[in-house]
Amino acid sequence: MPVPVTEAVNPRRLIRDEVFLRLLDAIVDGDLLPGEQLYDAEIEKWVGVSRTPVREALNQLAAMGLVEILPQKRTRVTPIDPDRLRGLIDTLGTVFRSVVRDATPLLTEGDKIALEAFLARVNSGEDLAHLIKDRAVTETFMNVYVRRLDNKTIARLATRHLPEIRRALNASPSTASFEAGIPFLRATIEASVAGDAKKAADGVSDYWNTALVQLVDQYAATASKEN
């Protein structure tokens, strides 16, 4: 496990939260790759903490589906499974269609400015891989609606599962699925700014169920070659 090079633990955060966030970022951003073995001792040395917060963080990541713990055998970054990914995209696509539909009438001018700023980045020709890594696709875009809806259950669901989608986007050999989704993102944002909740919901549904589903095809093709 080649541990990433980062700064020391931030003393203003709880140690277990710091370890969790470090590992989460390393897994989602691709510093720790799917299938990579994780060793407690190396993580302890990297973050500079004892074993207990490391295990707590790994257990939390396992609950999110990002780490696989086999007692007495190994701990590793969970490989990307096409079937699980398809189910996650289908589920989140359905959920976020409702979120966007219900949140659009509630959007503030600040929310609309944030969405337009995101769209401006997409239209600017900025490197798509950088946009994905910068969390623009998931957190910056989807969380505008999640925050405005202010539903704790939805917020927890987004916090738990959006990192897994971003990891799949980051680990993908190409940005084709995100590129295919740009017209749908544009339609969603333009409809949201105009206050058209149905059209915005249709746009985000197409983004998840037409564009992002291409991720599944990419990973399924890779799995087929390996078998």
For residue 37, give the 3-state DSSP assignment. strand
Q: Are 53 and 15 in contact (CB under 8 A)?
A: yes
Q: Is the dihedral of CA 122, 127, 129, 133 positive or negative?
A: negative
Two tokens at 42?
Answer: 């190396």
Question: CA 12, CA 20: separation in Å to the nearest integer?
Answer: 14
CA distance 163 to 3: 20
**CA nearest to 182, candidates 204, 199, 202:** 204
Name which of 20-24, 131-135, 152-156 the model is least confident about. 131-135
Query: Which pLDDT value is given to residue 223?
Result: 66
pLDDT at 140: 81
**What's the first-to-final CA gap in the chain, in angstroms?**
25
For residues 210 and 138, the model is more confident at 210
138-196 confidence digits (pLDDT tens): 778 899 999 999 999 999 999 999 999 999 998 988 888 888 999 999 999 999 999 99
Count of helix runs (H) and strand runs (E) in the chain: 11, 2
Confidence at 12, pLDDT banded by 50, 70, 90: very low
Residue 2 banded pLDDT, cuts 50, 70, 90: low
Give every CB contact of residue 66 below 8 A, 6+ residues apart in sequence: 24, 27, 28, 77, 78, 163, 164, 167
Report whether pLDDT(11) > 60: no
Q: Residue type at 108?
A: T
Q: State the pLDDT confidence band at 133, using cuts at 50, 70 and 90.
A: confident
**Is the predicted pLDDT of residue 37 greater than 80, yes or no?**
yes
Lowest mean per-residue pLDDT among 11-20, 77-86, 99-108, 210-219: 11-20
- 56 has a pLDDT exceeding 60: yes
Token pair 């020391």 in the structure block, residue: 8
Distances (CA, A) of 124 to 116, 131, 179: 12, 11, 13
State the average pLDDT for the chain: 88
Ordered by where they begin, the domains of the chain are 15-77 (1.10.10.10), 82-226 (1.20.120)
User: Is the four-CA dihedral 152, 29, 89, 106 of positive or negative sign?
Assistant: positive
Taking residues 28-45, report their average pLDDT.
92
Q: Tell me, what amino acid is at 29?
A: D
Q: Which residues on adjacent β-strands are paired with residue 76?
A: 37, 68
Q: Which pLDDT value is given to residue 15?
A: 80
Helix (H) or strand (E) holding 102: helix 82-103
